[in-house]
Structure 1
């Protein structure tokens, strides 16, 4: 084994340690093995948006659309959406997102009975 091989192995070990060190900057957890050895592992990255939070947002948005639909009525709601769709690109996108769908109509139907 030559001097170049040892130098390459050293650089490789150094890169592994640097990668572990960067991972530990986000935090770490410790675990004590049965033989008494303390194992330190970096914390895993968590996603900013979990599936639960996306589902909760979607449900809240459908409830909001249902409430708006129940408050103003189907005809007025459709008129306002049609007016939005004739506006700027941003307003057209808003009209697309806010158009009445079966879920929001279902929510509106049940909210009308509660609101009256």
Structure 2
């Protein structure tokens, strides 16, 4: 067996051994680099649920509500939410999400105190 074939078989043995250790058996892509080596890339891990993005949306939602309550006043804000709750289904859903809650009320008082 020539030296290049032995090197190729050794490389394949390392690849298969690595696959057996990591449990990655499916192949995502097979390419040949400019030196003639076969590069086998295993499938990457599946992406999980984006918890950080979801938390950023939730925190932003409460912060925006708190800023609105501090700027226009809690009484006026509550009146507008009550006015919305008498409308269509979409307006009722908006009124339900925009109703004052302890977190946004606390944020509004903190923003008002620090201005």
Query: Is the pair's TM-score, using the shorter chain for normalization, greater than 0.5?
Result: yes
Deviations 1:88-111 (A, max 9, x none): 111110000011110000100011
Task: Measure the CA separation in 2 of the matches of 1:92 and 1:45.
Answer: 38
Offset of residue 72 of structure 1:
1.0
Structure 2: gaps spanning 5 or more residues: 1-25, 30-38
Structure 2 partner of 1:51: 51
Taking structure 2 as the reference length, what is the TM-score of the superposition? 0.63
Alignment TM-score, normalising by the size of structure 1: 0.63
Q: Distance in 2 between matches of 1:50 and 1:106?
A: 27
Q: What's the CA shift for 1:44?
A: 2.5
Instruction: Give the whole-Å Cα distance in 2 for the aligned partners of 1:76 and 1:89.
Output: 22
Q: CA deviation at 1:87?
A: 0.9
CA RMSD of aligned residues (A): 2.1
- Unmatched segments (≥5 aa) in structure 1: 1-19, 26-37
Q: CA–CA distance in 2 between the matches of 1:109 and 1:83? A: 23
Q: 1:67 aligns to what?
A: 67
Number of aligned residues: 82
